[in-house]
Chain A
Amino acid sequence: MSAASLSAKAEPSRRSLLKAAGLAGAAFMVPLSGCGATSGAHNGITTLRFMQNKPEVVAYFNQVIKDFEALNPDIRVIQDFNEGNFVPGLVRNDPPDVVTRGFAQATADFVKKGIFADLSDMPVAASIDPKMQDLVASWGQYNGSEISALPFSLAAAGVIYNRDIFEAKGVAVPTTWDEFIAACETFKAAGIAPIYGTFKDNWTLGQGLFDYVAGGSLDVAGFFAKLTAKGAAISPDAAESFTNNFAPALPKMLQLASFSQKGAASKNYADGNAAFAKGQAAMYLQGPWALSQLVAANKNVRLGSFPLPVTNNPADTKARVNVDMALSITRNTPNMAAAQRFVNYLLEPSVVNAYNEKNAAYSPLKDAPAVENPQISGLNTSVRDGRYYQGATTYFPPSVPLYNYVQSFVYTQNGEQFLAALDDEWRRVAERTAV
Chain B
Amino acid sequence: MTTSTLPEPIAGAPAPAGSRTGSRTGINTRSETQSETGINTRSETQSETGIRTGFRSPGSGPAGQTRRSNREGFKINWWLTALMLAASLTVLLPLYFTVAMALKSPDQISGTGLAWPNPMNWENFAAAYVATDFPRAFMSTAFVTVFSVLGALACSSLVAYAIARNWNRKFFRGSFVYLLSAMFIPFPVIILPLIKQTALLGLDNPAGVVFLHVLGGISFNTLLYIAFVRSIPVELEESARMDGATTWQVFRKIIFPLLAPMNATVGIFAFLGSWNDFLLPQMMIADPALQTLPVVQMLFQGEFNTNYSLAFASYLMAMAPTLVVYILAQRWVLSGVMRGAVK
| A joins B in a complex | yes
Contacts of A24 in B (CB 8 A): 142, 146
Contacts of B110 in A (CB 8 A): 274-275, 278, 297
A14 B286 Cβ-Cβ under 8 A: no
B109 A11 Cβ-Cβ under 8 A: no
Q: Is A369 an interface residue (CB 8 A)?
A: no
Q: What number of residue pairs across chains A and B have CB atoms under 8 A from each other?
A: 143
Contacts of B14 in A (CB 8 A): 3, 6-7, 10-11
Judged by DSSP, the binding face of A is helix
B146 A21 Cβ-Cβ under 8 A: yes
A88 B289 Cβ-Cβ under 8 A: no
Q: Is A55 an interface residue (CB 8 A)?
A: yes
Q: Is B49 an interface residue (CB 8 A)?
A: no
| Surface stretch bound by A, among B61-69, B156-164, B237-245, B296-304 | B296-304
A92 B109 Cβ-Cβ under 8 A: no
A298 nearest in chain B by CB position: B107
| Surface stretch bound by A, among B83-91, B180-188, B199-207 | B199-207
A82 B288 Cβ-Cβ under 8 A: yes
| Surface stretch bound by A, among B17-25, B168-176, B216-224, B227-235 | B17-25
Q: Is B330 an interface residue (CB 8 A)?
A: no
A10 B18 Cβ-Cβ under 8 A: yes
B302 A92 Cβ-Cβ under 8 A: no
A80 B19 Cβ-Cβ under 8 A: no
In the assembly, what is the distance between CA of A11 and CA of B331, in Å? 13
Q: Mark B143-159, 1 if CB is under 8 A from A, else 0.
A: 10011011000000000
Q: Mark A251-284, 1 if CB is under 8 A from B, else 0.
A: 0000000000000000001100011001000000
A28 B139 Cβ-Cβ under 8 A: yes
Which one, B285, B295, B304, contacts A269 given CB within 8 A? B304
How near does chain A come to B132, taking the closest CB pair, in angstroms?
10
Contacts of A36 in B (CB 8 A): 205, 287, 289-290
Contacts of A79 in B (CB 8 A): 288
| Surface stretch bound by B, among A116-124, A130-138, A288-296 | A288-296
30 residue pairs A–B, Cβ–Cβ below 8 Å: A2-B22, A4-B18, A6-B22, A7-B15, A9-B18, A10-B17, A21-B146, A22-B150, A25-B142, A36-B290, A37-B287, A37-B289, A55-B302, A79-B288, A81-B298, A82-B291, A85-B282, A85-B283, A85-B285, A85-B286, A88-B192, A88-B195, A88-B286, A89-B286, A91-B199, A289-B302, A290-B304, A293-B305, A297-B106, A297-B110
9 tightest A-B contacts by CB? Answer: A7-B14, A6-B18, A25-B146, A92-B199, A296-B106, A289-B304, A274-B110, A80-B288, A7-B18
Residues on A facing B (Cβ under 8 Å): 1-7, 9-11, 14, 17, 21-22, 24-25, 28-29, 31-32, 35-38, 49, 54-56, 58-59, 78-82, 84-85, 87-89, 91-94, 102, 269-270, 274-275, 278, 287, 289-290, 292-293, 296-299
Q: A85-B282, A298-B107 are in contact. List 15 more A-B contacts (CB 8 A).
A: A3-B14, A6-B14, A10-B17, A10-B18, A22-B150, A25-B142, A28-B142, A32-B206, A36-B290, A55-B298, A55-B302, A81-B299, A88-B286, A91-B199, A102-B303
